[in-house]
Structure 1
Amino acid sequence: MRLPLARAIRGVGRPGRKTKKLIPLLRRGDIAIIDHPDIDIVCANALIDRRVAAVVNCAVSLTGRYPAAGPGAILAAGIPIFDSAGPELMESIAPDTMIEIREDGGIYEGGRRIAVARPFTHALLEEALARARANISVEMEAFVRNTLDYLSEEWPLLFDEHALPELRTRIHGRDVLIVVRGEGYREDLQAILPYVRDKRPVLVGVDGGADALLEMRLRPDIILGDMDSVSDEALRCGAEVIVHGYPRPLASAEPEDEAAQAPGLVRTRKLGVPASVLRALGTSEDVAMILMERKGARLIVLVGSHFSLQDFLDKGRKGMSSTFLSRLKVGSILVDAKGVSRLYHRGWRILDIVWLLVGAVTLTLVILSVSDSARAFIDLLAVRLQLWLRHL
């Protein structure tokens, strides 16, 4: 593993306040400039896949609040991290500007120092992880209390029968595959591709999950979410688009602004993509499950889901009441495929190799028995072999 501070690092600095929006713009050798406290593993893996030269974080990469796995993964991939650069860096650097990061963490543009960051070393990583492990019980207690508090407000998610958008895709009686771009989504989706090809389920991408489907050369039938992380290409792929909106407010004297209650509409309208709005409590992932259940899905298969404490802390959520309730509602038809790629990897067995050789020999014998030209070719080889042996 290379040392992160062995030399000055030069590259094009690409700033982005939202890491998931910045990632598609990154190229190999770029310096990613983010503002991301407690870097989560999904964003970390995406930065690694982009093969950036370094990561500059305006925030603290690992605060010690909980053991976020992202910083460790980035360092393990040999990509140096410089953090605590301050929010001013986002304003002081223009996109596509060549910058240099020196050994002491100084960040330079054209020979002028524009910021100073802290080299985030393995020693700092271990120190922060130790604090995080000591604090996880505090986070767990706060998380559970928040979940219980919001259960009393979000329980209508189980019974609310408000009107649903009309879909041109038939759902009733069919399998549905819902893809969320959570940890391990790519490997799990790859693992169940035989199921997808055989059963041909309805394909639902939750925000960036639509791009995950397209990566596998699968066109989503439906895209649902607040449209903050799905690409323009995915939105234009021909799928039905459903914008997740906030629940309708109580009676108000002010006229309702539909786009204010469903911010994703601004983007779909700008792209000229027709979209319907579904107002509901919970995350887009929860809403997708509830929608498919109410539309009569026979089975719901979920890839890349968020359900662990780590998942929710990575997402910045303080509770999981809506997820708990939505899984209660659809539990009898839900198959969570998270981690299925780690379940079983079958390698070549000796018996497989034996059967392969037997098949090859059998096929050769069959060809020789029915083909005159093949027999003539073998006879010619035999004659040449005899002549060669006589000259030895």
Structure 2
Amino acid sequence: MRLPTLRRTRTAEPGILAGTARLDRRTKRLVGRLRPGEIAVIDHVDLDRVAADSLVAVGVAAVLNAKPSISGRYPNLGPQVLVEAGITLIDDLGEGVFQQIREGDVVRIDGNTVFVGDEPVAHGVRQDGETVGKAMLDAREGLSVQLEAFAANTMEYLKQERDLLLDGVGVPDVRTDIAGRHCLIVVRGYDYKLDLEVLRPYIHEFKPVLIGVDGGADALVEAGYAPDMIIGDMDSVTDDVLRCGAEVVVHAYPDGRAPGLSRMHQLGVPAITFPAAATSEDIAMLLADEKGATLIVAVGTHYNLVEFLDKGRAGMASTFLTRLRIGGKLVDAKGVSRLYKQTISGSSVLLLVLSAIAAMAAAVAVSTVGKAYLSLAAEWWDSLVFNLYRLF
């Protein structure tokens, strides 16, 4: 398995840095409150690339992590993303950081120490390109153990959800017309903005059913599209997007509990539930497949083993099996963009222009009005030549 190569990074200067602190144990939820220049206080062991990308996009000044950003279980990609963006990363600050720092406090970072006012409240490990590179190399040794755990999780998930995977048992009825159409499933994951931009010609021509998975619905709206369906646990979708008129499917636990359903009731948005042990992106694919989609295009989803491990969740085994279940129907956006990208050569453009000129000339030559204009043009040309002849 080929792992990403570490590049030269723009390591943050180890000087003094200050900013307003925002705290949350769930990085995905915290991103919605962060503003450029603020300091994110998180509790995220093995920081994954999707979370790191979202922090970089917000423009945080620093990230303070109560847990190790690289535990050594496997080479996760998040810390590399942060240090390459020049964002200060302080690791392993301990649980006490959530008691010592309050929401909105102005904190100061000096070296590997965090201050509130003049009082030091936490000490951690300051990461840079060199330390992250060494930790990533050490973490490669843990891959064999993680692969064994991934295989075990895959078998466990297969036992739990074999009826859903094999026969589509449990897929709810939806009002959105999917049969015989393409489906575009958007997850706010890897390179989703770039993929959506490249796919604009495809979306314009084929008009696929647009399905946003949690924050992927916001991504569709930000790109100028109206989602037809929103699927997920509803913890990262904005209220305005939930009210946009799209059909809402709330991801529920296998026992039927659906924490996101209470939010729908509060907003007055009708919703149905889909109980499953799979991830939200997986149930979106399974639903589209079961309802007769002819092609499923995935944006921002996990599609290789490095990304499965980088997510760091046992549930990612469901993604592996879901892709096996759907088979040739599923195409990742990166593949579509490479296949569908239209290029027109200069010679083709020239040939098109010359063809248009020839067609216009032929039309003028055979029409009565055209012959009259040609006669006038010939007389004007003869007059011009005669006058030039007299001058010289």
Q: Normalized against structure 1, the TM-score is what?
A: 0.80
Match of 2:239 in 1: 232
- Code of the residue aligned with 1:94 in structure 2: it is R
Match of 1:142 in 2: 149
Q: Counterpart of 1:335 in 2: which secondary structure?
A: strand
Aligned ranges for residues 123-142 of structure 1 at < 5 Å? 123-142=130-149
- Quickly say closer, same or farther: Cα 1:348–1:89, change in 2 above 3 A: farther
- How far the C-alpha of 1:101 sits from its partner, in A, is 0.6
- How far the C-alpha of 1:156 sits from its partner, in A, is 1.4
- Quickly say closer, same or farther: Cα 1:117–1:340, change in 2 above 3 A: farther
- Quickly say closer, same or farther: Cα 1:115–1:297, change in 2 above 3 A: same
Contact 2:44 2:66 in 1 (8 A): yes
Within the candidate set 204, 215, 226, 1:219 is matched to 226
- Code of the residue aligned with 2:279 in structure 1: it is T
Match of 2:283 in 1: 287
Aligned ranges for residues 185-204 of structure 1 at < 5 Å? 185-204=192-211
Instruction: Let me know the Cα RMSD of the aligned residues.
Output: 2.8
Within the candidate set 333, 336, 351, 2:329 is matched to 333
- Quickly say closer, same or farther: Cα 1:59–1:200, change in 2 above 3 A: same
Aligned ranges for residues 245-256 of structure 1 at < 5 Å? 245-248=252-255
1:7 aligned onto 2:3:
no
- Quickly say closer, same or farther: Cα 1:168–1:352, change in 2 above 3 A: same
Aligned ranges for residues 17-166 of structure 1 at < 5 Å? 17-103=25-111, 105-162=112-169, 164-166=171-173
Aligned-residue identity in percent: 47
Unaligned 5+ runs, structure 2: 1-8, 359-392
- Code of the residue aligned with 1:39 in structure 2: it is L
- Quickly say closer, same or farther: Cα 1:234–1:111, change in 2 above 3 A: same
- Quickly say closer, same or farther: Cα 1:171–1:76, change in 2 above 3 A: same
- Quickly say closer, same or farther: Cα 1:201–1:132, change in 2 above 3 A: same
Q: Which range moved further: 190-199 or 262-271? A: 262-271
1:297 aligned onto 2:293:
yes
- Quickly say closer, same or farther: Cα 1:355–1:215, change in 2 above 3 A: farther
Q: Which range moved further: 144-153 or 131-140? A: 144-153
Aligned ranges for residues 312-391 of structure 1 at < 5 Å? 312-318=308-314, 320-338=316-334, 340-341=336-337
Tell me, in whole angstroms, the C-alpha distance in 1 between the residues paired with 2:294 and 2:339: 24
Contact 1:157 1:326 in 2 (8 A): no
- Quickly say closer, same or farther: Cα 1:341–1:24, change in 2 above 3 A: farther
What's the CA shift string for 1:10-47, capped at 9, x where partnerless? 11111111111111211111111111111111111111
- Code of the residue aligned with 1:191 in structure 2: it is V
* Count of residues paired in the alignment: 349
Match of 2:174 in 1: 167
Q: Counterpart of 2:32 in 1: which secondary structure?
A: helix
Contact 2:72 2:136 in 1 (8 A): yes
Tell me, in whole angstroms, the C-alpha distance in 2 between the residues paired with 1:187 and 1:273: 31
The structure that has the greater radius of gyration is 2
- How far the C-alpha of 1:205 sits from its partner, in A, is 0.7
Unaligned 5+ runs, structure 1: 249-257, 363-392
